[in-house]
Amino acid sequence: MRAFTQHQGLVAPLDRSNVDTDMIIPKQFLKSIKRTGFGPNLFDELRYLDEGQPGRDNSQRPLNPDFVLNQPRYQGASVLLARSNFGCGSSREHAPWALEDFGFRVIIAPSFADIFYNNSFKNGLLPLVLDEKIVDQLFQRVEANPGYQLTVDLEQQVVLTPEGDSFPFEVDNFRRHCLLNGLDDIGVTLEDADNISAFEAKRRQDAPWLFEPLS
């Protein structure tokens, strides 16, 4: 996994709550057996005026000029500012894959759906919770100031604004540690292989029916 320590980038505001994973990456693109290549279809139904299909040349498709990521001032954005319950819906990891593939490294919102939140960390994408009032304020500033950038420091756990604010944020130690070091968490878990085996042996004794072969 790509490590994440500090990031500075252009902010794009996505002003709607309950953005679901179907919206982030529609189902027809989930047929891929790869982890990459989802960026061109991020927010497909919002971004284009027609229906997207896997394998189509997206450069030929009509863009929705009203959609925020299509506006010239937000080209190259790497920080997504969003509203509450971002990433609700399915467990598809294709959602963070698509956001990451598009170029986002950070998503700031007042709240995230659990599974999406979890999936993001596994992909070097930092979902970051700030208070609703601060998020409101950031929406106003982003919209008022073309080229508005934020700096996110995961080591210090702060968001720094061009105005000189420094907004602290919370993140679990384990997730922070993995992200800062770009760790493969399967490798970390396997350091406990003996503990897992011991637990399993006891469980096999207590509940042998859980260890019957399937057919």
Partner 1 sequence: MSGKTLYDKLWDAHLVKQRDDGSALIYIDRQLLHEVTSPQAFEGLRLANRKPWRVDANLATTDHNVPTTGRERGVDGIEDPVSKIQVLTLGSNCEEFGIVEYGMTDKRQGIVHVIGPEQGATLPGMTIVCGDSHTSTHGAFGALAHGIGTSEVEHVLATQCLVQKKSKNMKVEVNGTLNPGVTAKDVILAIIGKIGTAGGTGYAIEFAGSAIRSLSMEGRMTVCNMTIEAGARAGMVAVDDTTIEYVRGRPLAPKGDQWEQAVQAWKTLQSDADAVFDKVVTLDAASIQPQVSWGTSPEMVTNVGGRVPDPAKEADPIKREGIERALKYMGLKPNTPITEIRLDRVFIGSCTNARIEDLREAAAVVKGKTVASSLKQAMVVPGSGLVKAQAEAEGLDKIFLAAGLEWREPGCSMCLAMNADKLGDGEHCASTSNRNFEGRQGFGGRTHLVNPAMAAAAAIHGHFVDIAAADTAAV
Tell whether residue 2 is a contact of partner 1 (CB under 8 A).
no
Task: By CB under 8 A, name the one of 8, 39, 45, 70 that touches partner 1.
Answer: 45
Task: By CB under 8 A, name the one of 114, 131, 156, 201 that touches partner 1.
Answer: 114
Task: By CB under 8 A, name the one of 14, 68, 113, 152 that touches partner 1.
Answer: 113
Distance CA 62, CA 215 (A): 50
Residue list 189-208, contact with partner 1 (CB under 8 A): 189-190, 192-193, 195-196, 199-200, 203, 206-208
Question: How many residues lie near partner 1 (CB under 8 A)?
Answer: 65
For residue 146, give both structure tokens: 């073309």
Distance CA 96, CA 38 (A): 9
Tell whether residue 146 is a contact of partner 1 (CB under 8 A).
no
Residue list 48-107, contact with partner 1 (CB under 8 A): 51, 54-55, 83-85, 88-93, 96
For residue 171, give both structure tokens: 């993140």
Instruction: Quote the DSSP letter at residue 214.
Output: P
Compare residues 10 and 128 and give the one whose CB is closer to partner 1: 128
Distance CA 179, CA 1 (A): 8
Tokens 């189509």 label which residue? Answer: 56
Dihedral angle computed from the Cα positions of residues 101, 126, 86 and 138, in that order, rounded to the nearest 10 degrees: -110
Compare residues 72 and 213 and give the one whose CB is closer to partner 1: 213
Tell whether residue 32 is a contact of partner 1 (CB under 8 A).
yes
Distance CA 199, CA 27 (A): 38
For residue 200, give both structure tokens: 């399993």
Distance CA 28, CA 32 (A): 9
* Positions in the binding site for partner 1 (CB under 8 A): 16-18, 20, 22-23, 26-28, 30-35, 45, 51, 54-55, 83-85, 88-93, 96, 111, 113-115, 118-119, 122-123, 172-175, 177, 184-186, 188-190, 192-193, 195-196, 199-200, 203, 206-215
